Amino acid sequence: MASTAGTAPVAVDAKPDTGRRRGRTGYLLILPGLAWLVLFFVIPFYSLIATSLYDPNGSDFRGYDMTYHIQNYWTAIQEYWSPLLRSLAYGAIATLLCLVLGYVLAYAIAFKAGRWKNLMLVLVIAPFFTSFLVRTLSWKLILADDGFVVDLLQTVHLLGEDGRLLATPVAVVAGLTYNFLPFMVLPLFASVDKIDPRLIEASHDLYASSFVGFWKVTWPLSLPGVVSGTLLTFIPAVGDYINAQLLGSPNQRMIGSVIQSQFTDANNYPIAAALSMILMVLILVMVLVYVRRAGTEELL
Amino acid sequence: MGALRAEARNRSDPGMRWVREHLVLILGILVLIYTFIPIFVVVLMSFNDPASRNVYRFDGFTLDNWTNFCGAEGMCDALWKSIQIGILATLASTILGTLAAFALVRWEFTFRSTTNLLIFLPMAAPEIVLGSSLLALFVSAGFAGQLGFWTILIAHIMFCLSFVVVTVRSRLAGMSDTLEQAAADLYANPRQTFWRVTFPLVFPGILGAALLSFSLSFDDFIITNLNAGTTTTFPMYVWGAAQRGVPMQVNVVGTLMFAVSVLIVVGAELNHRRRVRALA
């Protein structure tokens, strides 16, 4: 080991010895996977940027001219700012709700489940193995106008005589919250499970109430899980349009649905690509601001 | 002070005390029940005898949806297509991803952080952006007319790959190399060491990654829908059916998916326990 380390003085003062071998084999092993990602992830992203700058007067039959038509972005924002903002808002609300539900669940599994820990963890993911669309359709049935949830809410007067849940923002946000819950629970659990319960006991010995103990000990220690869980929930939730389409009405249309139909129905590739780029940039900016404020930059 | 408070609590109603002590667990179980509500509905609806195609509610009990499984027009074709794509995407992404994970954990190379970023990004990007970039590539490369099975497969391998790398990498990273050194001390050559020691140890990770890939591929809608052309996968079939009236057989598929995955997880857990007991 000493002889190999000696040939690379940089590695010596960076970290002791990772036990990693050197040589060409490593590159050969990673090359196919990397090539796939470059071909079908990096290059497509470049095509997306290019497409967003094409002359909008072309079509996929006649072909598009590259005219660096920045105007596409302006058109896209002007026409679709409302589904764009709506998606960000729905995504944010659903993420918050997931955080509350997910935290309770992760905390219960980590500290209260005892020997049922593994079982509960399995139960958390099990429902999500059923098809996303089939699950969402069954929410449609549960929230239906003649369903028992609406009936119940009408009896306790939380909902008016002809009030409904389907085709409202409530249904869409509820669907998003439900479908992305495991993305929140799993990272949260990983973080909460690592917390030494003796630290919490110590806070009670020092006369902290349950709430103060939670706020000053558990919560800060679980922050890495909170940050990665909220990101893993927020990003797919903003881009999703299945819930909005199946549980909402055209008034709850989300940006993913606009992008999809601009591509496949309207054949308006430049605008669709520009919208995709805008969504990506907005999410990126929000994530960066959020991560900076949460003060956990080293996580990314 | 703590003692005083505890005493005060003891004097209150024992039922209330029990609830207070187990509040978090009770709430947690309530959340769990909430996650299962749609599954109950899916299982129930798989036995539904619908009065009409346009009304989606439970009307009567029947076994027809199970016995006449392929009776829903086009569903079995779509299902078969999803299974084919799922298997191929799983094979390809598991092989490519496992090789890459070995490279990342066991080999030294330049551009490590760039590579890690490249593997991380597809998991962090919204699906609609991944799907539309791929579509933009296929269209500008002149494949707009060839969208279908192969373009879906390419897309699925792409998004499964990162998940495989991450899963296998964490398994490999958590493994010390003492057993491999012992094998080498016992005159095993590198090939024997790999196949008899390393591979069996990493295998559960690879298997987990493969199962994850299959379920990601099988369930994907947003990326597939953009790159599918006229090909229909199972999620796309359900999407189309949601507009026209959902055949109840869809719920049979949902129930089966749930049952199979629970069986796999339970089987893995039992197998694990058996091994632990055998070692003890």
* CB nearest B161 (choices: A33, A47, A255): A33
Rounded CA gap, A131 and A120, in Å?
A: 21
Q: Which residue of A has its CA nearest to B106?
A: A20
Chain A residues with CB-CB distance to B268 below 8 A: none
**Residue A259 to chain B, least CA–CA distance (Å):** 8
Q: Is the pLDDT of residue A88 over 70?
A: yes
Q: Which residue of A has its CA nearest to B247?
A: A134
Burial of B94 (0-12, 13-18, 19+ CB in 10 A): buried
Task: Let me know how long chain A is.
Answer: 300
Average pLDDT over every residue of A136-146:
87
CB atoms within 10 A of CB A157: 9
Residue B248 near residue B59, CB atoms below 8 Å: no
Best probe of the A interface among B129, B193, B194, B263, by most A CBs < 10 A, is B129
Q: Provide, rounded to the nearest whole percent, the portion of chain B with pLDDT above 90.
A: 43
Q: What is the pLDDT of residue B261?
A: 87
Name which residue leads in pLDDT, B115 or A3. Answer: B115
Tell me: domain A75-299, CATH 2.40.30.30, correct?
A: no
pLDDT digits (tens, 9 = 90+) for A158-178: 877 777 888 889 999 999 999
CB atoms within 10 A of CB A147: 17
pLDDT digits (tens, 9 = 90+) for A175-202: 999 999 999 999 999 999 989 889 888 8
Q: What is the pLDDT of residue B206?
A: 94
Complete domains list, chain B, with CATH: 2-65 (no CATH), 73-246 (1.10.3720.10)
pLDDT digits (tens, 9 = 90+) for A21-55: 787 888 889 999 999 999 999 999 999 999 899 88
Rounded CA gap, B191 and B37, in Å?
A: 50
Q: Do residue A40 and residue B158 have CB atoms under 8 angstroms apart? A: yes
Q: What is the pLDDT of residue A230?
A: 93
Chain A residues with CB-CB distance to B27 below 8 A: 104, 108
pLDDT digits (tens, 9 = 90+) for B73-123: 889 999 999 999 999 999 999 999 999 999 998 888 788 888 888 998 898
Average pLDDT over every residue of A203-230:
88
What are the tokens at B269?
A: 């857990």
Write down the mean pLDDT value for chain A: 85
Q: What is the pLDDT of residue B55?
A: 62
Residues 166-185 of chain A with CB under 8 A from chain B are 178, 181
Name which residue leads in pLDDT, B181 or A299. Answer: B181
Residue A287, CA atoms < 13 Å, CB-side half-sphere:
22
- For residue A93, which of A227, A230, A287, A289 has the smallest C-alpha distance? A230
Tokens 């967003």 sit on residue: A52
Q: How many Cβ pairs within 8 Å bridge chains A and B?
A: 266
Q: Do residue B126 and residue A108 have CB atoms under 8 angstroms apart? A: no
**Residue B28 to chain A, least CA–CA distance (Å):** 4
Rounded CA gap, B116 and B129, in Å?
A: 20
CA A219 to chain centroid, in Å, comes to 21
One-letter amino acid at A79 equals E
ipTM field: 0.85
Q: Where do the domains of chain A lie?
A: 75-299
Q: Is the pLDDT of residue A240 over 90?
A: yes
Q: Which residue of A has its CA nearest to B121?
A: A41
Write down the mean pLDDT value for chain B: 87
Q: Do residue B137 and residue A43 have CB atoms under 8 angstroms apart? A: yes
Name which residue leads in pLDDT, A82 or A22. Answer: A82
